[in-house]
Homo-oligomer: A and B are copies of this chain.
Amino acid sequence: MIGRLNHVAIAVPDLEAAADQYRTALGANVGAPQDEPDHGVTVIFIDLPNTKIELLYPLGENSPIQGFLDKNPSGGIHHVCYEVDDILAARDQLQATGARVLGTGEPKIGAHGKPVLFLHPKDFNGCLVELEQV
């Protein structure tokens, strides 16, 4: 069911410093910051030859990653995103195995303008999993 790894997201305490480190010390192709007010984050995508790294920084109050940064002040790997062809079919199939979907269970539109869902980390080895329909 799952296809490509769309991205790995890393929550960072200083977005500009993290972007600069990936650009200069690690020599990667770093994009521009994008505010995603519906998700409470500012993101920067880093293009690797086969996938992307998404740097995440809180935007506004009640950002869903503020709690993560409070617990992990240096930052940390926040989630992985797998691509699926049909997000509703994937959701239904996973829920049938007992996996929990976060929020209302209905897809939202993600940073790439495509439907996304998040799965409960306790059901996936402590790993927050995002599904994105491509």
Contact = CB atoms under 8 A, between A and B. Distances in A.
How many copies make up the complex?
2
A50 B12 CA distance: 25
Interface in A2-17: 2-5, 8, 10-13
B80 A8 contact: yes
A87 to B, nearest CB: 14
A51 interface: yes
Q: Which bucket holds chain A's interface residue count?
A: 35 or more
Choose among A11, A49, A125 the residue with the greatest number of B CB atoms under 10 Å from its CB.
A125
Interface of A: 1-5, 8, 10-13, 18, 21, 24-28, 48-51, 53, 55, 72-77, 79-80, 82, 93-94, 97, 99, 121-122, 124-127
